[in-house]
Amino acid sequence: MYPIKRNRRLRTNEAIRSLVRETIISPNDFLVPLFVVEGKGIKEEIASMPNYYRYSLDLLQAEVKELWKLGLKSVLLFVKVPDILKDNKGTEAVNPNGLMQRAIKTVKNACPQMLVMTDVALDPYSIYGHDGIIEDGKVINDESVDVLTEMSVSHIEAGADFVAPSDMMDGRILSIREAFEDEGYADAGIMSYSAKYASAFYGPFRDALDSAPVDAQDIPKDKKSYQMDYANRFEAIRETEMDIDEGADIVMVKPGLCYLDIVREIKNEVDVPVAVYQVSGEYAMLKAAAEKGWLDHDAVMMEQITAIKRAGADIIASYFAKDVVKILND
Ligand code: PBG
């Protein structure tokens, strides 16, 4: 008797397909990155990220209210820092009245229940566009960790729920965790960018914040001395396990699509939530192909997001969050 098994029975129509579907996307899966700028009445489109914007604080309020209405309950804040406030040491990063600190308060005022996570790294504040302090042509680790720790405390003081260190310095999670305990912020969360690769997919993000490494003598031209080599797999596990030991509540793999093998491996290995960042270059690629009429934007977007979750993502940071949720709500 042939065939005894007909797998197509479970694919006959949408009703049976939805009954046996293994991966379901919901608004609860998303963390929404938001770009903030100084000024008033500003909502400017990022050239390499069509339909994605930088907001001044006044318009940020309306945006987070809209996100909340759509069922999106977590945001990840990034700030574009004016050039005059940049230096080598991230002085502005710890200003209690800096743009990030005000952005945190703005979001919490507009939408008190919104979960606020903040980017912790020096690049938007650095005249050199690096995530740490430069000395003798190198990004120095321990002094950078000190500033990143101070910066983290300042974000929590301003009202953030979680910090998200994206800098890849060694030992920063432990340092931040200890500072939170010492300063009486035992409830403050840490989502660590644990396995963050030195990727060419971050280009549009660096346009958005004007934060690319500068091309100057004695300044490293890339971030390969701290972000991971994309050829490596075991190193991702090592980094992630260390961050958990040091006190991370959530770990992250970044970028997304090219790294789903790493996501699955980490998901199988650890018992904390795993976040995946579908980064700016991934967003830009689909936008560009869709603009040309070469790909069906919404179909490819849903396929990619589902693939990220299927690979093991408990949380997805994505510039598509709003678009996806609008489709889910339809
Ligand atoms: C900064 C930071 C980057 C991203 C998140 N935080 C860029 C970088 O490391 O150069 C990339 C996000 C994206 O491309 O969407 N430390």
Is 156 within the bounds of a domain? yes
Q: What is the pLDDT of residue 1?
A: 72
pLDDT tens-digit readout, 295-319: 999 999 999 999 999 999 999 999 9
Residue 6 lies in a domain: no
pLDDT confidence of residue 4:
86
- Tell me how far CA of residue 223 lies from CA of 87, 138, 202, 228, in angstroms: 18, 10, 11, 9
Residues ≥6 apart with Cβ < 8 Å to 181 = none
d(CA 107, CA 237): 34
Q: Where are the beta strands (DSSP E) in 17-132?
A: 30-37, 43-46, 49-56, 74-79, 115-120
**Which residue range is the domain that position 198 belongs to?**
25-329
The token duo for 37 is 């700028």
Question: Is 268 inside any structural domain?
Answer: yes
Count of Cβ atoms closer than 10 Å to residue 198 Cβ: 15
**What is the pLDDT, as a whole number, of residue 330?**
85
Cα-Cα-Cα-Cα torsion 205, 209, 213, 216, nearest 10 degrees, comes to 140
Helices (H), 213-312: 234-246, 260-269, 280-291, 297-311
d(CA 30, CA 9): 33
What pLDDT was estimated at residue 76?
Answer: 98
Break the chain down into helix, strand, coil percent, rounded to 5. 45, 20, 35
* Total tally of structural domains belonging to the chain: 1
Structure tokens at 134: 């430069």
Determine the Cα angle at 60 with ends 46 and 129, to 5°: 45
- Tell whether 186 is covered by a domain: yes
Q: Which of 254, 267, 287, 309 is catalytic?
A: 254
Query: Taking residues 47-73, what's their average pLDDT?
Result: 98
Asked, for residue 1, whether it belongs to a domain, the answer is no
Task: Dump pLDDT digits (tens) for 8-44.
Answer: 999 999 999 999 999 999 999 999 999 999 999 999 9
Q: Whose CA is nearest to atom 7 of ligand 1?
A: 202
pLDDT per residue as tens digits for the range 227-262: 999 999 999 999 999 999 999 999 999 999 999 999
Note the pLDDT of residue 2.
78
Q: Do 287 and 49 meet the contact criterion of CB atoms below 8 Å apart?
A: yes
> Quick check: is 69 catalytic?
no
> Quick one: average pLDDT of 60-75?
98
Average pLDDT over residues 70-95: 97
Query: What is the structure's pLDDT at 3?
Result: 83
Flag whether 7 is in a domain: no
pTM, whole model, 2 decimals? 0.97
The answer to whether 180 and 239 have CB atoms below 8 angstroms apart is no
CA of 42 to the centre of ligand 1 (A): 22
Q: Tell me the C-alpha distance between 26 and 6, whole Å.
A: 31
What is the share, in percent, of the chain residues with pLDDT greater than 90?
Answer: 97
Mutate to test the pocket of ligand 1, among 205, 210, 277 (most ligand atoms within 8 A of CB): 205
Give the pLDDT of residue 137.
95
| 49, 130, 202: residue to mutate for ligand 1 pocket, most atoms within 8 A of CB | 202
* Res. 115: pLDDT tops 80: yes
Instruction: Say yes or no: CB of residue 92 within 6 Å of ligand 1.
Output: no
Specify the CATH number for the domain of residue 282. 3.20.20.70
The Cα–Cα gap between 76 and 133 comes to 23
Q: Residue 176: pLDDT band by 50, 70, 90 thresholds? A: very high
End-to-end CA distance of the chain: 45
Which protein residue has the closest C-alpha to ligand 1 atom 11?
Answer: 202
For tokens 């405390």, what's the residue? 153
Q: What is the pLDDT of residues 258-301, one digit of tens each?
A: 999 999 999 999 999 999 999 999 999 999 999 999 999 999 99
With respect to residue 176, please indicate whether it lies within any of the assigned structural domains.
yes
Q: Is residue 81 part of a domain?
A: yes
- Residues with Cβ within 8 Å of 266's Cβ and at least 6 positions away in sequence, in order, are 194, 195, 236, 237, 240, 251, 253, 274, 312
Give residue 219's pLDDT: 94
d(CA 316, CA 277): 6
Average pLDDT value for the chain? 97
Residue holding tokens 């795993």?
274
